[in-house]
A = this chain, B = another copy of it.
Amino acid sequence: MIKVGIVGGTGYTGVELLRLLVLHPEVTLQVITSRADAGTRVDQMFPSLRGLVDLLFVHPDEAHLEQCDAVFFATPNGIAMQQTRALLEAGVRVIDLAADFRLQDIASWEAWYGMTHACPDLVAEAVYGLPEVNREQIKTARLIANPGCYPTAVQLGFFPLLEAGVIEAGSLIADAKSGVSGAGRKAEIPALFAEAGDNFKAYGVAGHRHLPEIKQGLARVSGNGVGLTFVPHLTPLIRGIHATLYGKLTRDVDLQALFEARYADEPFVDVMPAGSHPETRSVRGSNRCRIAVHRPQGGDTVVVLSVIDNLVKGAAGQAVQNLNIMFDFPEAMALNIVPLLP
């Protein structure tokens, strides 16, 4: 049993970590922090956890996180980078679900996130926690930069094509749609039911913070730079991301076989049969990514459909997957959840 702490337990990634960890047989939930709600019972804020979590939110100053074996940051951007060094020095392994350690290019990070980075040296050490490309490094990492939700869905969809070098890397398009929980549990008007319900819109077409993260990840596997147009949309789902990816084929290839081979050994990536259209609900509540690959009318445009639950494979589930890899637990431990359909 390892002792685990969660910093920032009142957001959606926080409560999702709780949902997964309360049934994790190798984890003791040691502490959950909240600055605003210290002293409140966790199951008062989240009645879904009644009978399962017997903890109160603790003020960060009194959390004694250094006594944990691992700490998750489910905080806004810019918090983890302030506290990570002390934890690492105390021997704690850190998984940051925010963006603080995702971009290796510090100048780019500071431009997109609008703050000065507190510990560029730790960024260099951090391992990008996408097991499908970094499993070996994750095993021994002290510090994990847990990927963003859009980047997870988009990268897993493009990897087989870029690794095989069968598409033009310079003209990729990712048309992505996210459920509203991706905006977090924050009181903001655009995320109200009466605003986001029965409504569909694009946003951030001029530039979204996940763009450099995706490009960095794709560039790694493509061998040289990629050109990417990334258009995120808000769709009236609670959970779920659907990425529709477009690329121009440079040579003929058996796309279905390519994808199946690439992910044959991945426990959480499901390549669906040819002709499939994965639905977001088919992964609701689970850590799976389901992918289908199409070549409409036999033309030279490849279309990849990739779905995840943004709070699980796009956040908390992937973080637990990383924890399992880091501590040498079975990779699917506590993640063996059947999607909730309907």
A residues adjacent to B (C-beta < 8 A): 12, 15, 19-20, 22-23, 46-52, 171, 173, 175, 177, 179-181, 183, 185-189, 191-203, 205-207, 227, 229-231, 233, 235-240, 242, 244, 246, 248, 270, 272, 275-286, 290, 294, 296-297, 299, 301, 303, 305, 307, 311, 336, 338-342
Contacts and interface: CB of A to CB of B under 8 A. Distances in A.
A187 B185 contact: no
Contacts of A277: 201-203, 205
This chain: copies in complex: 4
Given A48-B339, A179-B200, 4 more contacts: A180-B192, A181-B342, A229-B296, A229-B301
7 contacts: A47-B278, A50-B290, A175-B244, A187-B187, A193-B193, A197-B342, A198-B281
A282 B47 contact: yes
A234 to B, nearest CB: 9
Contacts of A49: 338
Given A177-B200, A193-B238, A201-B279, A229 B303 contact: yes
Given A206-B296, A235-B236, A279 B180 contact: no
Contacts of A311: 342
Contacts of A187: 187-189, 192
Contacts of A200: 177, 179, 235, 237, 240, 242, 279-280, 307
A185 B177 contact: no
A239 B336 contact: no
A92 to B, nearest CB: 26
A141 to B, nearest CB: 28
Contacts of A230: 296
A199 B189 CA distance: 19
A202 B342 contact: no
B270 A246 contact: no
Contacts of A242: 200-202, 233
